[in-house]
Structure 1
Amino acid sequence: MSVLNTPIKPFTATAFKQGKFVDVTDADVKGKWAVFFFYPADFTFVCPTELEDLADIYPTLQGMGVEVFSVSTDTHFCHKAWHDTSPAIGKINYYMVGDQNHTISNNFEVLRPGVGLADRGTFVVDPEGTIQLLEITPEGVGRNATELLRKIKALQYWVSHPGEVCPAKWEEGEATLAPSLDLVGKI
């Protein structure tokens, strides 16, 4: 069952963020755009490349009113140790959420049965707390933060411009479409 267009479910967790342990809940997400960026485990190989890529665009996302929550089934203590020892992970200023009880991974339906690790999943949540975008990739394929940024810009545009849709490869400032009977068969 897809979680697309459903509200996020309640959760409480502890995260590592900018040198501190902080509590986060589903209530912290409401009222702003959010990215939940699930990955299998700390101290691995593809994961740090993705998390560093996301760290590079984090200031841009913040400027767009988007908060980032990276999530793995590791503890917040493990996140701190990784942050303190890895140059790539040391760049991260967004939330690194510990989901050792698997609540958040189960809520977003990315927990691998019998394994205890999350799939490589990306979810964009709107300010009302509704999941508007999801992407799951296999463990051996890293994600691209620039493409995620493009998709968030398209989502934000679409939500704020009723009656318009963003075509494939749409970039900010480009033409959109207004679906109508006149367009049927002409694209």
Structure 2
Amino acid sequence: MSLINTQIPEFTATAYHQGKFVPVTQDNFKGKWSVVVFYPADFTFVCPTELGDLADHYAEFQKLGVEIYGVSTDTHFTHKAWHDTSDTIKKVQYPLVGDPSHQLARFFQVLITEGEDTGLALRGTFVIDPDGRIKTIEVHDNGIGRDATETLRRVRAAQYIAAHPGEVCPAKWEEGAKTLTPSLDLVGKI
């Protein structure tokens, strides 16, 4: 079953955010757009490049009213230690959520349950609307890093269609580009 349009369940977790340990619950996702970015583990190789890329684009996400949550199955203590020792992770200003109980990784269906990486998360990116519903999902192999600009594009598209019911965004749609209005007249004409 797809997670698209499903509601974030009740949960309680702890994040490392701006020098403090802070609680994160399903209520953090209500009333604003959010992006949840799962990654396998702290102190690894591809993960800091992705989190650093998101940090470099964080102001753009914030202008769109979006909060980012980085999540791994590490603890919030490990997130702090990584922040304190990595120049790339020091740039991260969004919450890094610990999920050692795997409650979030299980719900988002990114928990690895077999093989040498059992207990880690796949690379998963989820755009969540202000009602706490999942609007986009991207999950792939852990050897493939993600691009923050593509996540920004998907956020803009999700926000656009939420504000413009009846319109849809075609492939490679960018903000300001033409959208489509599905109708009988459009069938077979694209």
TM-score with structure 1 length normalisation? 0.98
**Counterpart AA for 1:161:** H
Offset, 1:109: 1.1
Confirm whether residue 15 of structure 1 aligns to residue 15 of structure 2: yes
- 1:186 maps to which of 179, 183, 189: 189
Segment drifting more, 127-136 vs 1-10: 1-10
Equivalent AA in structure 2 for residue 19 of structure 1: G
Partner of 1:138: 141
Q: Deviations over 1:143-176 (max 9, x none)?
A: 0000100110011001100111111111100111
Residue 141 (structure 1) shift = 0.3
1:2 shift after superposition: 1.8
- CA distance, structure 2, for counterparts of residue 104 and residue 22 of structure 1: 16
CA distance in structure 1 between the partners assigned to 2:109 and 2:167 by the alignment: 30
Q: Partner of 2:106: helix, strand, or coil? A: helix
The alignment status of 1:108 with 2:108, answered yes or no, reads yes
In 1, Cα distance between the equivalents of 2:83 and 2:55?
12
1:68 alignment partner in structure 2: 68
For 2:107, the aligned partner's letter is N
Question: Which ranges in structure 1 are unaligned for 5 or more consecutive residues?
Answer: none
Rounded Cα–Cα distance in structure 1 between residues aligned with 2:107 and 2:168: 29
2:162 counterpart SS class: helix
CA distance in 2, matches of 1:41, 1:2: 25
- Can you give the 5+ residue segments of structure 2 that lack an aligned partner in the other structure? none
Write the mapping of 1:18-167 to structure 2, written as runs, cut at 5 A: 18-114=18-114, 115-167=118-170
Query: Residue type matched to 1:20 in 2?
Result: K
- CA apart distance, 1:63: 1.2
Cα shift at 1:9: 1.1
The one-letter code sitting in structure 2 at the alignment partner of 1:141 is: I
Shift of 1:107: 1.2
Give the drift of 1:137: 1.3
List structure 1 segments (4+ residues) > 4 angstroms apart after TM superposition: none
Question: How many residues matched?
Answer: 187
One-letter identity of the residue aligned with 1:50: E
Hey, what's the Cα distance between the residues in 2 that align with 1:109 and 1:166? 26
Q: RMSD of aligned C-alpha atoms?
A: 0.7
CA distance in 2, matches of 1:139, 1:75: 19
Letter in 1 for 2:129: D
Residues of 1 paired with 2:16 and 2:94: CA distance? 8
